Structure 1
Amino acid sequence: MFLIDTNRLQAQRRLDVCPIALAVAAVLALLLVTMVGAKAQPVLDGFLRASKSCPATPAIRSDDNPGGVVLTPGRTYRLLAENKADGSHYLLVTPGASPEKRWVEKTCGERVAFEAAPDASPKGRPEMAASPSASPASGDRRRRGSRVIVAMNWQPAFCEISNRAECRSQTSERFDASHFALHGLWPQPRGREFCGVSSALRSADENGDWLDLPAPVVSPTTRRDLERAMPGTRSGLDRHEWLRHGTCYGTDAEEYFRDSLWVLDAVNASGVRTLFTTSVGRTLTRDAVRAAFDRSFGAGTGERVRLTCRRDGDRTLISEITLGLSGDIRVGADLAALIRAAPEARGGCSEGIVDAVGRQ
Structure 2
Amino acid sequence: MFFLPLPPSRVFPATGLLVSALATAVILFGAGSGRAQPVLDGFLRATEACAATPAIRSADNPGDIRLKPGTTYRLLAENKANGTHYLVVTPGASPEKRWIEKTCGARVASVEAGGASTAETAPPPPRGTPRRADRRMTGSRMIVAMNWQPAFCETSGRPECAAQTADRFDASNFALHGLWPQPRGREFCGVSSQLREADERDWNALPPPELSAETKKALDEAMPGTRSGLDRHEWLRHGTCYGTDAEEYFQDSLEVLKAVNASGVRALFSGRVGQSVSRDEVRAAFDRSFGAGTGDRVRLTCRRDGGRELISEITLGLSGDIRPGADLAPLILAAPEVRGGCAGGIVDAVGRQ
| Short-chain TM bin | 0.5 to 0.7
The structure with more helix, counted as a fraction of residues: 1
Task: Specify the alignment match of 1:318 in structure 2.
Answer: 311
Shift in Å at residue 58 of structure 1?
3.9
| 1:238–1:59 CA distance, 2 compared to 1 (3 A) | same
Task: Specify the alignment match of 2:31 in structure 1.
Answer: none
Shift in Å at residue 83 of structure 1?
9.7
| 1:255–1:93 CA distance, 2 compared to 1 (3 A) | farther
Does the CA-based 8 Å contact 1:83-1:91 persist in structure 2? Answer: no
Shift in Å at residue 153 of structure 1?
0.3
2:255 matches 1:262:
yes
Larger Rg: 1
| 1:48–1:191 CA distance, 2 compared to 1 (3 A) | closer
* Range with bigger deviation, 331-340 or 256-265: 331-340
2:270 matches 1:277:
yes
Shift in Å at residue 59 of structure 1?
3.0
Task: Specify the alignment match of 2:42 in structure 1.
Answer: 56
Matches within 5 A, 1:29-68: 47-48=37-38, 56-59=42-45
Shift in Å at residue 56 of structure 1?
1.6
1:148 is matched with which residue: 142, 149, 152? 142
Q: Secondary structure at the match of 1:254?
A: helix
Q: Secondary structure at the match of 2:43?
A: coil
Q: Which amino acid aligns with 1:272?
A: V
User: How many pairs align?
Assistant: 267
Normalising to structure 1: TM-score of the pair? 0.67
Q: Which amino acid aligns with 2:283?
A: R
How far apart, CA to CA, are the structure 1 residues paired with 2:132 and 2:146?
Answer: 30
How far apart, CA to CA, are the structure 1 residues paired with 2:83 and 2:261?
Answer: 50
* Structure 2: tracts of 5 or more residues without a match: 1-34, 48-70, 90-95, 99-105, 110-130
Q: Secondary structure at the match of 2:299?
A: strand
Q: Which amino acid aligns with 1:234?
A: R
Task: Specify the alignment match of 1:31 in structure 2.
Answer: none
Once the two structures are superposed, residues 292-348 of structure 1 have per-residue CA deviations (whole angstroms, 9 ceiling, x without a partner) of 000000000001111100100000000010000012233244310110111111111
- Aligned-residue identity in percent: 68
Q: Secondary structure at the match of 1:325?
A: strand
2:178 matches 1:184:
yes
Does the CA-based 8 Å contact 1:316-1:352 persist in structure 2? Answer: yes
How far apart, CA to CA, are the structure 1 residues paired with 2:242 and 2:81?
Answer: 23
| 1:216–1:103 CA distance, 2 compared to 1 (3 A) | farther
Matches within 5 A, 1:1-80: 47-48=37-38, 56-59=42-45, 78-80=77-79
Task: Specify the alignment match of 2:16 in structure 1.
Answer: none
* Structure 1: tracts of 5 or more residues without a match: 1-44, 72-76, 106-136
Shift in Å at residue 84 of structure 1?
9.6
Q: Which amino acid aligns with 1:346?
A: R
2:216 matches 1:217:
no
Does the CA-based 8 Å contact 2:38-2:79 persist in structure 1? Answer: no
Task: Specify the alignment match of 1:196 in structure 2.
Answer: 190
Q: Which amino acid aligns with 2:274?
A: G
Shift in Å at residue 80 of structure 1?
3.6
Task: Specify the alignment match of 2:232 in structure 1.
Answer: 239
How far apart, CA to CA, are the structure 2 residues paired with 1:84 and 1:216?
Answer: 26
Does the CA-based 8 Å contact 1:91-1:104 persist in structure 2? Answer: no
Shift in Å at residue 65 of structure 1?
9.0
Shift in Å at residue 60 of structure 1?
8.4
Does the CA-based 8 Å contact 1:211-1:235 persist in structure 2? Answer: yes
Shift in Å at residue 57 of structure 1?
2.6
Once the two structures are superposed, residues 13-37 of structure 1 have per-residue CA deviations (whole angstroms, 9 ceiling, x without a partner) of xxxxxxxxxxxxxxxxxxxxxxxxx
How far apart, CA to CA, are the structure 2 residues paired with 1:295 and 1:345?
Answer: 18
Once the two structures are superposed, residues 211-269 of structure 1 have per-residue CA deviations (whole angstroms, 9 ceiling, x without a partner) of 00000011111100000000000000000000001111111111110110000000000
Q: Which amino acid aligns with 1:269?
A: A
1:226 is matched with which residue: 219, 243, 246? 219
Once the two structures are superposed, residues 26-53 of structure 1 have per-residue CA deviations (whole angstroms, 9 ceiling, x without a partner) of xxxxxxxxxxxxxxxxxxx964478xxx
2:280 matches 1:287:
yes
Shift in Å at residue 142 of structure 1?
2.0
Task: Specify the alignment match of 1:358 in structure 2.
Answer: 351
Does the CA-based 8 Å contact 2:36-2:240 persist in structure 1? Answer: no
Q: Secondary structure at the match of 2:134?
A: coil
| 1:350–1:81 CA distance, 2 compared to 1 (3 A) | same
Shift in Å at residue 143 of structure 1?
1.3
Task: Specify the alignment match of 1:34 in structure 2.
Answer: none
Normalising to structure 2: TM-score of the pair? 0.68
2:246 matches 1:253:
yes
